[in-house]
């Protein structure tokens, strides 16, 4: 019989690290400062995504400084109409609402 020396388990170290992180997180996750920090981090990521998407789609983050946001009024503004062709493909064309 051929004897193979035991090899160290590479996953065992990861399990210990995960256990340490879980215990550290369990002690802090219910505190108000930690929850505020997490909320601010998510808010920052949301703001960064909004700014980045504006740059990607060539739209300014604040296109009209000092003016309130504008929403479309279906009674007076133009709205896209969806037209379905013979093959079932939908295309949008502008028409008055």
* 82-92 pLDDT, tens digit each: 666 667 676 65
Pick left, alpha or beta for residue 22 (phi over 0 → left; psi -120 to 50 → alpha; otherwise beta). alpha
Neighbours of 34 (CB within 10 A): 13
Is pTM beyond 0.85? Reply is no
* 22-46 pLDDT, tens digit each: 998 898 988 999 999 999 999 999 9
Say yes or no to pLDDT of 12 above 80: no
How confident is residue 2, by pLDDT bands cut at 50, 70 and 90?
Answer: confident
């Amino acid at each position: 019989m051929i004897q193979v020396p035991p090899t160290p388990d590479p996953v065992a170290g990861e399990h210990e690290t995960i256990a340490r992180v879980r215990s550290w997180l369990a002690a802090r996750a219910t505190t108000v400062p930690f929850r505020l920090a997490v909320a601010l981090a998510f808010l920052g990521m949301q703001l960064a995504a909004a700014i980045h998407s504006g740059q990607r789609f060539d739209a300014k983050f604040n296109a009209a400084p000092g003016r309130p946001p504008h929403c479309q009024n279906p009674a007076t503004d133009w709205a896209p109409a969806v037209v379905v062709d013979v093959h079932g493909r939908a295309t949008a064309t502008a028409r008055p609402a």
